[in-house]
Structure 1
């Protein structure tokens, strides 16, 4: 599978290293779309890729799928055109926080027979939510996220403090850069309006921790993920980065587990 990446930040560099540098058996990054050609010229030499600054030229290159690894604003601006021509994987899932965007992208994908893939990112257990929700047997989903205080508030605090408590739809509006997990959880489960979120600023931690509680006709489930950051970029979750690679690898398999 030939891959095109939008963006050249931490996640793009992890992909280039794990796929091209390590000579992945079934995957190869061929093209990368950037804003500044000169700044990222070294990537061409280091990883054997072609840089582009024009979206049309990028989409016309030898790629089967586009991985968006930029930011919410870029994702919103380019995804409609990308999905008219290619399958895509969205990393900045905050772009799907409003129903209008979701409906638009779903229609474009359906009309053009393309697909938008959303990797699990910094959490797991999404197969459980999707399986329960597909039969309407999911009753409640609650996410409690704990992050270093400096990531959530400018206020100097000595003890942990809940900076938000309410539905996912409101959490995303108030903390757009910190609620990717809430978006993917809500989309896999019972939606933005019914998914409950508690966001805690904790001055005593240097990790992001997500605790998820699920109830339904099937029973109850809970799981906790404590994320270490990428060594290359302390602002990016290690699990979020490798979930992209795992999703791409599973798309190429003939033997599929779960889902």
Structure 2
């Protein structure tokens, strides 16, 4: 099995989780995060600490980072960072993009697709906090998908600063509008949209609920194929309630599939 060297952008809860699982616990054979990047001066001390703890090299300048012997770069920072660097990265390296909310911007998506086609690099979009995308993709491809609705229910503290005593619908509209209103909470909506009918035709409802402790996503779809419903209840990340723990796990699954000869699902 060929060793895989990974570059990491983002040192929050997901980035730290990946450093621990990959570099310390070695959950994926022959795979290591060898470089970590953050250009912000205020982050340099923390970046150096993580680099020393998990035996990787810190970088503060994007061009030097991209010149490192890296096979794949994982972006797990935020939409702004994704839009700033993704196209530049794909001209030189494969990219695993976590902030897929950036894909709601059609101009950004087009530029990224062109860059990947020209460079023959790959862009991986993990399923993140939901399942069932294989069903959505299959029915869309066959022209049998007519409507998709996502209802996301999250702990109130992850969505609003208000002290709620009962559930509140904080958003209802298209996936495109959802990512603009709640950029840190709507990645699930964008993943569902990319697999299915697109950001303008995917309906989204977001509920802040003071009585739940998990991120709960309910998907409904129907069309010529029949009907599909799925509910998944994710534990939020211990370090960041706006992030699902399953998102971090799905990244590991995507990485593990890169070198597998037999892949279950899609």
TM-score range, shorter chain: over 0.9
Deviation, structure 1 residue 123: 0.6
> Matched residues in 2 for 1:177 and 1:37: separation?
24
| Cα deviation 1:168-225 (Å, max 9, x = unaligned) | 1222222222111101110111101111111111121122110001112221111111
Deviation, structure 1 residue 232: 4.0
CA RMSD for the aligned pairs? Answer: 1.4
1:187 counterpart = 2:187: no
Deviation, structure 1 residue 160: 1.4
Match of 2:30 in 1: 26
Q: How many residues align?
A: 259
Deviation, structure 1 residue 79: 0.7
> Matched residues in 2 for 1:28 and 1:61: separation?
13
> Matched residues in 2 for 1:26 and 1:189: separation?
34
> Matched residues in 1 for 2:174 and 2:242: separation?
25
Matches within 5 A, 1:108-127: 108-127=115-134
1:230 counterpart = 2:233: no
Match of 2:223 in 1: 216
Gaps of 5+ in 1: none
2:158 and 2:242 in contact (8 A); partners too: no
Find the partner of 2:141 among 134, 139, 147.
134
> Matched residues in 1 for 2:81 and 2:261: separation?
33
Deviation, structure 1 residue 77: 0.5
| Cα deviation 1:146-181 (Å, max 9, x = unaligned) | 112233234443221222222212222222221111
Q: TM-score, normalised by structure 1?
A: 0.95
1:37 and 1:52 in contact (8 A); partners too: no
Match of 1:17 in 2: 20
Gaps of 5+ in 2: none
1:87 counterpart = 2:71: no
Match of 1:173 in 2: 180
1:4 counterpart = 2:7: yes
> Matched residues in 1 for 2:213 and 2:254: separation?
27
1:56 counterpart = 2:55: no
> Matched residues in 1 for 2:164 and 2:45: separation?
43
Matches within 5 A, 1:33-52: 33-35=37-39, 36-52=43-59
Deviation, structure 1 residue 68: 0.3
Q: For 1:119, what is the secondary structure of its paired residue?
A: coil
> Matched residues in 1 for 2:198 and 2:231: separation?
20
1:5 and 1:67 in contact (8 A); partners too: yes
1:44 and 1:51 in contact (8 A); partners too: yes
> Matched residues in 2 for 1:10 and 1:57: separation?
25
Deviation, structure 1 residue 234: 3.6
